[in-house]
Structure 1
Amino acid sequence: MARMDDLRIDVVDDASAGELLTVRRAAFVTEAQLYGDPHIPALTQTLEDLRSDLARDDVVTIAAWAGPRMVGSIRVELESERANLGRLAVVPDLQGRGIGTELLMAVLEYLPEQTKEVWVFTGQDSKQNLSMYAKHGYEHQYDQHTGDLTYAYLRRILGEGEGEGEGEDAED
């Protein structure tokens, strides 16, 4: 399928919180079905909790819009020299068109200069997610068992220029 060329990527503010919650829930239903668990955090988070998260100084949430419609998002938690990615979501009807990759690469522009590594986790059985992260330089570090689920943790070490607003020029 063709990539989405008319995407606008920007920080999500409180005014878009409801739309963000809808995008995440739509996107994470597939994961919930894969793991047989309707209680994954992306599906149980309340609008109030999401608004609190968006207001945090150590969290940046960016989204992709196709025209007026939010079509994907990713959350970045910043801690010292590390960024932790989570909640990468793309609306089901547009998955497989490069939106997730665009968001993953756009994150680099929002990282503080001192960021040296980026971490992400996903379910061990989420083969498409694992493949996308590996394709973009994320290497498996360890697995963590939580109840019936096993999460794979991956890390990418940033090179010169990445994390300083120059991420769009970075090639793996």
Structure 2
Amino acid sequence: MNSPADPHDLTIRDIREEDAGEVLTLQRAAFVQEALIYDSIRMPPFTQTLDEVRAELVDNLGQVALIGHRVVGAVRARRDAALLLIGRLAIAPDVQGLGIGSRLLEAVEARGRDAGCREAELFTGSLSEANLRLYKSLGYRETQRVEGDDGVEEVFLRKPLV
């Protein structure tokens, strides 16, 4: 019998505006580790409001991952000409490391390709070594580093989608 957190029972579907509450809760739980790495809770995943998330999900190309009826992962994306801008990949802490993030990224990249995007871009903080390893293992290559207001570098990575 499969456990409730069995990633083989995973369903991935398009993100919806009505997912906003669950997505906000998920991102806050998922980004606790990032807050510990950067010693700050003054980051958008914690300061974003429900109304802001709801507005962001309108016409979004993102995806959610579900095990049963529980949202265990989410990623947002939007199209900017031929570029797919990917953001806020969040995986529930109790199912991190099971490949859900990789599957969500593959799904959102496919949706971006279907929408006419030729390249994907995402970013993470320079201290987020696990994120950087994941993105690089999926074919993303670093394109630039930008100094943030807090003194931490944001690392931008891109991947061709065609």
Question: 2:132 is matched with which residue?
Answer: 130
Which runs of 4 or more aligned residues in structure 1 lie more than 2 Å from their structure 2 counterparts after TM superposition?
none
How well do the aligned residues superpose, as a CA RMSD in angstroms?
A: 1.4
Find the partner of 1:39 among 24, 34, 42.
Answer: 42
Question: 1:4 is matched with which residue?
Answer: 7
Question: 1:21 is matched with which residue?
Answer: 24
Find the partner of 2:148 among 124, 146, 149.
Answer: 146
Q: Which amino acid aligns with 1:104?
A: L
Q: TM-score, normalised by structure 1?
A: 0.86
CA distance in 2, matches of 1:131, 1:157: 18
CA distance in 1, matches of 2:73, 2:21: 13
Find the partner of 1:121 among 108, 120, 123.
Answer: 123
Q: 1:109 to 1:146 in 2, by over 3 A?
A: same
Question: 1:97 is matched with which residue?
Answer: 98
Q: 1:142 to 1:157 in 2, by over 3 A?
A: same
* Percent pairwise identity: 38
Partner SS, residue 61 of structure 2: strand
Q: TM-score, normalised by structure 2?
A: 0.91
Consecutive unaligned residues of structure 1, counting only runs of 5 or more, are 160-172
Once the two structures are superposed, residues 93-144 of structure 1 have per-residue CA deviations (whole angstroms, 9 ceiling, x without a partner) of 1100101011011112211442111001001111111011111110011100
Matched-pair contact (CA < 8 Å) for 1:3–1:99: no
**Corresponding pairs, count:** 156
